[in-house]
Amino acid sequence: MTKKILQIAAAASVALCAATAQAATNKLVLTGGVSSVDGAAGGGITPWAVIGTNATAGETGLSAHVSRAVLRDYSLTTYGAAVGINERVELSLAQQNFNAGPVVGVNGLGFAVTPGQKIKMDIYGLKVRLAGDAILDSDTWVPQISAGLLHKRTNAGSIDPVLTALGAKDSGTDLYVSATKLFLAPGVLVNGTLRYTKANQNGLLGFGGALGENKASLQPEFSVAYLLSKNLAVGAEYRFKPNNLEKVGNTLPIPRGGLREDDWMDLFVAWAPSKNLSLTAAYLDLGRIGPALVNDRKQRGVYLSAQVAF
């Protein structure tokens, strides 16, 4: 059902963008961010305080995106849609499809994971601007501040018994506060986000864990972007992560640290060939994801994303 809603919303957004390509919207190109991996407007791996779409005060906008991350041992496809209302409220919906092939390696511990099993996660987002305006306050030190939530529900298929054995739940809600400051004259944007979460690998491996690791924690995230021109930006992000599963993983007959979770980072370039289309490419370093299953290899790779918005 969620997939059908996303497909309809994405198709509607594309059609509306085509029909309103000349519509009078006042938001500057790229200052609404791009669609993050969770669906909220921001960078690739972290939300910003900006409200997505091209709509400004008194307007309602739509956006749709699709992205693909390819790592050494895993891959992730995400698609979704968002609505921006009056430059005050953002509603988003996204679905992640994670290729969890290496997890079949736990079958030696008595599980029955289906080869080629994928993990799907639905994400429902709400963001509200609380103070400031990234554009109107660009000549002051006042940042735009927003608060948001991301409710996530994970369907791991035949991997569900593994997550249950680790004490991980199949749903959880991230709460976050973001502050975004745009220095328009030099073309620099900085963002800081503080996320309250117990998600494992963003929720793809469930939420929390056994052995007292079932409480949410505060995790900071940072972004910086530089506008090379009005439609081209480069930047970097760093996202601290909880490490809920390592302790319970150390009780299993696998190498110590076999379920360790590392921080995420990326280096990105975003290009807007038109006001209604943006393309993002990034180099990803997501650290270790189930290192016991992939010979402790770090998961580095590339990320590509396309977004249409009006």
241 CB burial (10 A radius; 0-12, 13-18, 19+): buried
How many percent of the chain have pLDDT more than 90? 80
- As beta bridge partners, residue 144 has 180
Q: With beta carbons less than 8 A apart as the criterion, state whether 216 and 173 touch.
A: no
> What is the structure's pLDDT at 170?
96
> What is the structure's pLDDT at 213?
78
> What is the structure's pLDDT at 4?
47
Average model confidence (pLDDT) across the chain: 90
> What is the structure's pLDDT at 42?
94
Q: Model confidence at 5, in pLDDT bands (50, 70, 90)?
A: very low
**Radius of gyration of the chain from its Cα atoms, rounded to whole angstroms:** 19
Q: pLDDT tens digits for 172-200?
A: 999 999 999 999 889 999 999 999 999 99
**Residue 17: pLDDT above 60?**
no
Give every CB contact of residue 223 below 8 A, 6+ residues apart in sequence: 42, 43, 46, 48, 189, 190, 191, 192, 193, 235, 236, 237, 238
Residue by residue, DSSP assigns 1-40 as -HHHHHHHHHHHHHHHHHHTTT----PPTTTT-EE-TTSS
> What is the structure's pLDDT at 171?
97
Q: What are phi and psi of 192, to 5 degrees?
A: -130, 130
How many percent of the chain have pLDDT more than 70? 92
Q: Which domain holds residue 134?
A: 2-309
**Residue 97: pLDDT above 70?**
yes
Q: Model confidence at 8, in pLDDT bands (50, 70, 90)?
A: very low
The predicted model gives 110-125 an average pLDDT of: 95
Q: pLDDT tens digits for 244-300?
A: 999 999 999 999 999 999 999 999 999 999 989 999 999 999 999 999 999 999 999
CATH code: domain of residue 75? 2.40.160.40
Give me the number of domains the chain comprises. 1
Q: Model confidence at 22, in pLDDT bands (50, 70, 90)?
A: very low
